[in-house]
Each structure stands twice: as structure tokens, then as C-alpha cells.
Amino acid sequence: MRISALVISVLFGLPSVAFSEINANEIVKKADLKRGLGNVSHSFNVTVTDQENKKEIYHVYFRDVNNTLTEQTAPERSRGRKLLMKDYDIWLFTPNIKKPLRISLEQKLTGQVSNGDIARTNYAEDYEATLMDTDKKEENAYHLALKAKNNKVTYGKIEYVVSKKDYSPREATFFAISGKPLKRATFSDFKNIQGMARATKMVIQDYLQKDKVSTLVFDDHKPEKFPDSLFNKERLEF
């Protein structure tokens, strides 16, 4: 496929950009698999620790990139808070309000962490990738620019560094739709989960206030089937 694309581009003088863009999106897809189980129905836990060592724990039900339910289990004051993301719609349920409330996608969950950081982790679905030409290249790494496919996603742009060796994500810099840099994340602690080495730790640092740091630890990934109704906003109260 790649060879035929190359032959065609040489023969017909097509811009090499088209070829590199196909590759860039493939790289992002492979890197996505190193940060979760991909688009397979599964559940996992996320522990978020901030710079003051305060912990928040979430359980995530992931059916596909368009159907995720996040339930907070700690601390006690926030127990039972649920966040349902269905396509680009998002609802928040809190035990005191006792009904699901539609909210906008950009609402933050905690500290430096956006809803999308926890529940919408497949960049290939939301962003169009191109290989970057940069002087600050890390060795043996792809430098990618990920541009939002629409303005409903969490970030306007992501600069993404992925290992050439095994497509492991190394770091990402997140930008607002306006182009303003927001935060930087590094990926580490690769562990064998469901037959593949995957990142279990993501450290997110505010771009300007470097002392604002949140650490996300992902664990307990389990392939699991969920009924349709789990992702129905009217079921959040139960």
C-alpha cells in the first residue's frame, strides 16, 4: 500500500505531503493503542494526584470513543459524581443535584485535568495529524502536529512526540483553539496490559505555572461489554 502510494506520487508528481499525512495518522492510531485498549469496550481506573498530593479516583466505562462514562469514587465529598460523554454531548450527575445536567465539553474535572484527558483518549478519532518539521527533534521519535477535526474536541492542537521504535507516546503539548499553549504531558510506566506494553502514567503540567502538576495513573484495564442503557443520560441517577 505504501509502496504503491510512493510509486503513484513519483509517477504523477503528487505532493509528498499526502503520503506523510497518511503515515502520520497511522502513527497516532498506533500510539493510541499504547495509552489504552483502543476502541475496544473496556473499563479502567484513573487516580489523579495533584501537586499537593490530593487524590481523586475515577472508574471509567469505555465502550468506544463516542460512549464513555466516568464515575468518581474518591474523595468522599465527590463520590457518585458521574460524567457521561456521548459523541460530543456531555452530562454531569452529582448526588446532591440528583439529575443529569448537560454541560459543555470544555468543563474541567479537576486541577489541570480535562474531561477529555480521562475519557476521550483516542487522538486519532478527534485530530488530523501531520509530521512536523522542527529543530527540537528528539532522537528516534516522530514529531507530529495534531489539529482538531472540529471545535468540539478538548484541544485545538496537540504537538505529539511518539517513539519510532515501538510507537510509544513520549510527550504532548496541548493548545487551546486560540493557539495558546495550555499544558504539557509526559507518558511513562509502560506495563504489559492485555498483551501489549501500554503507558500507565501521564504527568500533566501547566504550561505557564510549572508548579501546577497532576499525575494520572491508569490501572485495572478489563475488557468488558456494556449495555446501551449505561450510556443513556436518563440512567445516570441510578
- Interface residues toward other proteins, by CB under 8 A: 50, 52, 54-55, 74-79, 86-89, 95-99, 101-108, 110-111, 212, 227-229, 231-235, 237-238
CB closer to other proteins, 4 vs 229: 229
Residue 93 φ/ψ region, left for φ over 0, alpha for ψ in the -120 to 50 degree band, beta for the rest: beta
Locate the DSSP E strands across 154-237: 157-163, 169-175, 181-193, 196-206, 213-223
| Closer to other proteins by Cβ: residue 106 or 171 | 106
The number of C-alpha atoms within 13 Å of 202 and in the hemisphere containing its C-beta is 26
Query: How is residue 60 written as a grid cell?
Result: 471509567
| Residue 1, C-alpha cell as written in the block | 500500500
Of 166 and 237, which CB lies nearer to other proteins in the complex structure?
237
Which set of grid coordinates corresponds to residue 178? 486560540
The least CB distance from residue 230 to other proteins, in Å, is: 9
Angle, helix 16-32 to helix 2-12, in steps of 10 degrees: 160
State which residue, 189 or 237, has the beta carbon closest to other proteins.
237
Q: 7 or 97: whose CB is closer to other proteins? A: 97
Let me know how long the chain is: 238
To other proteins, the closest distance from the beta carbon of 200 in angstroms equals 23
Which has the closest alpha carbon to 220: 99, 64, 8, 59? 59
Q: Map residue 52 onto helix, strand or coil.
A: coil
Tell me if 72 sits within 8 A of 80, measured CB to CB. Answer: yes
Compute the least distance from the CB of residue 111 to other proteins, in Å.
6
Using an 8 Å Cβ cutoff, are 213 and 51 in contact?
A: yes
Q: Closest approach of Cβ 93 to other proteins, in Å?
A: 10
> 50 or 171, CB closer to other proteins?
50
Distance CA 81, CA 52 (A): 22
